[in-house]
């Protein structure tokens, strides 16, 4: 499993988001190191198809895919299952998305 954490330092949610990701991975017994990727320019954002900070990719796939997501340097919008808007995913959201990803992989998806 390859885990990438893409962030833009001007968006203040990345530190907490990374801590949550690491905690979820640790509790799930996933020892894969998280690769930190700083996206600092508009050109990098376009080249990396960066939809906003923070973005978590597992095996190259966005953990929270959104169709037609706009690419660029900005803070990313997440929606909690309760309907709240937030700048970073909750631990439950990360855990559920990781579980879904692992199920897809186990089924050969």
Partner 1 sequence: MGPLALESKLLAFSLPGTDGKTHSPDQYRQAAILGVVFTCNHCPYAKAWEDRLIKLQRDFAKSGAQLLLISSNDPAKIPDDSFENMKRRSKEKAYPFPYLFDESQEVARSYGATRTPEIFLFDADRVLRYHGAPDDNFENPAAVTHHYLRGAIEALIAGRQPEPTDTKPVGCTIKWK
Site residues (CB under 8 A) for partner 1? 10-13, 70, 72, 74-78, 84-88, 90
In this complex, which beta carbon is closest to partner 1, that of residue 25 or of residue 53? 53
What whole-number distance in Å separates Cα of residue 4 and Cα of residue 18? 10
| 20: Cα separation from own chain's centroid | 11
Residue 85: in which H helix or E strand, if any?
strand 85-86
In this complex, which beta carbon is closest to partner 1, that of residue 13 or of residue 25? 13
In this complex, which beta carbon is closest to partner 1, that of residue 35 or of residue 42? 42
With CA atoms as reference, report the closest residue to 90 among 7, 20, 19: 20
Instruction: Kindly state the smallest distance separating residue 21's Cβ from partner 1, in Å.
Output: 16
């Amino acid at each position: 499993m390859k885990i990438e954490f893409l962030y833009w330092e001007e968006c203040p949610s990345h530190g907490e988001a990374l801590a949550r990701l690491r905690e979820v991975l640790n509790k799930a017994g996933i020892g894969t190191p998280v690769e930190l990727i700083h996206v600092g320019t508009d050109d990098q954002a376009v080249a990396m198809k960066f939809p906003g900070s923070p973005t978590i990719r597992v095996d190259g796939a966005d953990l929270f895919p959104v169709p037609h997501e706009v690419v660029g340097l900005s803070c990313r919008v997440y929606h909690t299952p309760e309907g709240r808007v937030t700048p970073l995913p909750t631990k439950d959201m990360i855990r559920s998305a990781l579980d879904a990803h692992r199920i897809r992989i186990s089924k050969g998806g």
